[in-house]
Amino acid sequence: MIERPFSWERSYPAGVRWDAPIAASTVPALFDAAVRAYGPRTAIDFRGRAILYAELGRAVDRLAAALLRAGIGPGGALAIHLPNTPDLPIAFFAGARTGARVVMLSPLDGERVLAHKLRDSGARMMIASDRAELLPAALRLLDAGHLDRVIVAEEAAWGDAAEPGAEIDFDTRLQRLADFTEGTVPPAAWPAVVPSDLALLQYTGGTTGLPKGAMLTHANLTVAVGMYNEWLNGQGATHPGKERVLCVLPLFHIYGLTTILLRHLDNGNVILLRTRFDVERTLHDIEVGRATCFQGVPTMWIALANHPGIERRDLSSLRYCSSGGAPLPLEVAQRFERLTGRRLGGGWGMTETSPAGTHRPVAGPAKPGSIGLPLPGIEIAIVALDDPRRILPPDTVGEIAIKGRNVTAGYWNRPEESAAAFAGVYFLTGDVGRMDADGYVFLVDRKKDMIISGGFNVYPQMIEQAIYEHPDVTEALVVGVADPYRGEAAKAFVTLRVGAPPLTLDALRQFLRDKLGRHELPAALEIREALPRTAVGKLSRLALREEERRRQPAV
């Protein structure tokens, strides 16, 4: 069994305890407590409409009662296929109230992936959007027999829709949400839900096959909320009941679901819910809407840091801003702070950890490049890549292993993969990193992204970090490509700033020579207008690896 002295405790900021008592609860209990405590206050601001906590509570009860009436309850499954509108939190909390497992689907998933998730999860009912670009996929899944029923949430119910709804012929298998909930009466008692019950199937992976569902319990999710509360409220970064939280992160993703929806409703804050990220709209929400908290993924911070005139914009309302979901290039964080005077917080986590993991201290001296310290209640060890039960000394690169009550018990219907994901009681993250003597963790790369070049381990993220120091580079991704001499070599894909001169491979290698080892220098360079992204806006190495694989001649 992995054991490690908790070196990070001595590095903890004042006001935060690693062993703070964090209670496990249920999602319905968390939500009900918020509705009771903050009923007449605004929970969600959407398209200029203020939705009160009490109003949100009534909507959740109506839908939960309708779901029970339709046979969705303990042991059942409910699929949610919605973008960022108030219908998503209503559907999520309603599904949790019935005791069913909620299955989050991405609006950007292809039909093959959607069909797989429905088959794998056992969900036969879906709550879907009437957006013209989304509903047809749900209807085809219904016609193909992957679903028994689709409930259609109409965006116009929340004011002028950003996109027109699809033309729909309703029938017994296809109902408007308003019709589905009509005439419902809450039961005398809601189904009993306990912290150990499965709350959410959050699909992840798919780099070597179809996605697998991380099983997240009510305890996993509510404990993660408690960990973030202890860390951020304890340091005074956020203040319950006083924050206006800008939400452009997709709520169907675990990052937005836990760190914004669950945590900030638990704290009684206002969520400024937006359907997508737009630089000018985001700046308007900060300057005019006086947003106090903003969490984003690296591509958002890159866009903001490169936005003309950003240094002259009024960001004074922001008390806390952070980056997550993917590694943030150090140069981008430093550029943003230099231009705006705002320090970017954030840390590391993953779907399987709900997604709590590490976090950087809010104030005080920074350790550049670090993803921070383990959050309260979380244990982290660095283990050998070839023997995950062997712990490594400080400042040695290995796989990050994690233990905590926020960590999944495994993957739905995948007993072998679930067993392989653990070494003893520690979850093996697949991330490569190191921990220094003070307990600060540094992420090197994903294990699966590692390039073996001439017998050397080469980490794309380290190369990307160096490329971002080039003054003409906006975004960068590095993947391994076949090399007849070294087996694999690094290829860089780069976008350049508007007006930048052409960049050649020789010029880039010359720029990187004092920053990287010879074996790490890119062997190829491709300049692009844009780089591929995942459904949640992260830059996608996977898409580039697939492109390169298709380019290889058939053997």
- Summarised one tens digit per residue, pLDDT across range 468-527 is 999 999 999 999 998 876 778 899 999 999 999 999 999 999 999 888 878 889 999 999
| Range of weakest confidence among 69-73, 185-189, 459-463 | 459-463
| Stronger pLDDT, 401 or 110, i.e. the higher one | 401
Query: If you ran DSSP here, which 8-state letter would residue 335 be given?
Result: H
Q: Distance between CA 196 and CA 27 in Å, rounded?
A: 11
CB 55 within 8 A of CB 35: no
Q: Which residues face 320 on adjacent strands?
A: 293
| Stronger pLDDT, 210 or 285, i.e. the higher one | 285
What is the per-residue pLDDT for 68?
Answer: 98
Task: Tell me the average pLDDT across 203-219.
Answer: 81
| Range of weakest confidence among 64-73, 228-237, 326-335, 354-363 | 326-335
Per-residue pLDDT reduced to its tens digit, 135-144: 999 999 999 9
Of 265, 325, 316, the closest CA to residue 296 belongs to 325
Given a cut of 90, is residue 91 above it in pLDDT?
yes
| Range of weakest confidence among 209-218, 406-415, 483-492 | 483-492
Residues of the chain with CATH 3.40.50.12780: 7-23+214-446
Q: Which residues face 104 on adjacent strands?
A: 80, 202
CB 538 within 8 A of CB 326: yes
Of 352, 326, 347, the closest CA to residue 420 belongs to 352
Of 224, 221, 218, 216, the closest CA to residue 192 belongs to 218
Query: E strand or H helix at 381, and its extent?
Result: strand 379-384
**Paired tokens of 482:** 């076949």
Given a cut of 60, is residue 206 above it in pLDDT?
no
Residue 553 contacts by C-beta under 8 Å, 6 or more apart in sequence? none
Q: Distance between CA 172 and CA 150 in Å, rounded?
A: 9
**Paired tokens of 44:** 């969600």
Is the preceding omega at residue 211 within 30 degrees of 0, hence cis?
no
* Residue 136 CA to its chain's centroid (Å): 26
Given a cut of 60, is residue 207 above it in pLDDT?
no
Residues of the chain with CATH 3.30.300.30: 453-551
Q: Which residues face 46 on adjacent strands?
A: 49
**Paired tokens of 54:** 């009490």
What is the per-residue pLDDT for 314?
Answer: 94
User: In the predicted model, what is the mean pLDDT of the chain?
Assistant: 92
Task: Tell me the average pLDDT across 536-548.
Answer: 87
Residues of the chain with CATH 3.40.50.980: 59-193
User: What's the first-to-final CA gap in the chain, in angstroms?
Assistant: 44
| Range of weakest confidence among 57-71, 178-192, 237-251, 328-342 | 328-342
**Paired tokens of 437:** 């003597």
CB 390 within 8 A of CB 195: no
- Cα 193 to Cα 74, 98, 184, 276: the distances in Å are 8, 8, 21, 33
Q: Distance between CA 17 and CA 379 in Å, rounded?
A: 13
| Range of weakest confidence among 366-370, 385-389, 429-433 | 366-370
In order, the DSSP letters of 426-458 are EEEEEEEEEE-TTS-EEEEEEGGG-EEETTEEE
**C-beta contacts of 132-135 below 8 A and 24+ residues apart:** 132/163, 132/164, 132/165, 132/166, 133/163, 134/81, 134/83, 134/107, 134/166, 135/165, 135/166, 135/168
CATH no. for 59-193: 3.40.50.980
Q: What are phi and psi of 33, to 5 degrees?
A: -65, -40
Per-residue pLDDT reduced to its tens digit, 428-453: 999 999 999 999 999 988 788 888 77
Q: How confident is the model at residue 161 (pLDDT cuts 50, 70, 90)?
A: low
What is the per-residue pLDDT for 109?
Answer: 80
Given a cut of 50, is residue 1 above it in pLDDT?
no
Given a cut of 70, is residue 166 above it in pLDDT?
no
For the chain, give the percent of residues with pLDDT over 70. 95
Neighbour-count burial of 159, counting CB atoms closer than 10 A to its CB (0-12 exposed, 13-18 middle, 19+ buried): exposed
Query: E strand or H helix at 53, and its extent?
Result: helix 53-69
What is the per-residue pLDDT for 126?
Answer: 98
What is the per-residue pLDDT for 485?
Answer: 66
* Residue 359 CA to its chain's centroid (Å): 14
Q: Distance between CA 519 and CA 537 in Å, rounded?
A: 30
What's the one-letter identity of residue 453? S
What is the per-residue pLDDT for 247?
Answer: 98
| Stronger pLDDT, 466 or 161, i.e. the higher one | 466
Residue 133 contacts by C-beta under 8 Å, 6 or more apart in sequence? 163
CB 332 within 8 A of CB 305: yes
Pick one of 3.40.50.2300, 3.30.300.30, 1.10.10.10, 3.40.50.720 as the CATH number of 453-551.
3.30.300.30
Neighbour-count burial of 41, counting CB atoms closer than 10 A to its CB (0-12 exposed, 13-18 middle, 19+ buried): middle
CB 523 within 8 A of CB 482: no
Per-residue pLDDT reduced to its tens digit, 277-301: 999 999 999 999 999 999 998 889 9
The fold for domain 7-23+214-446 equals Rossmann fold (3.40.50)
CB 219 within 8 A of CB 24: yes
Q: How confident is the model at residue 546 (pLDDT cuts 50, 70, 90)?
A: confident
Given a cut of 70, is residue 5 above it in pLDDT?
no
Q: Distance between CA 164 and CA 161 in Å, rounded?
A: 6
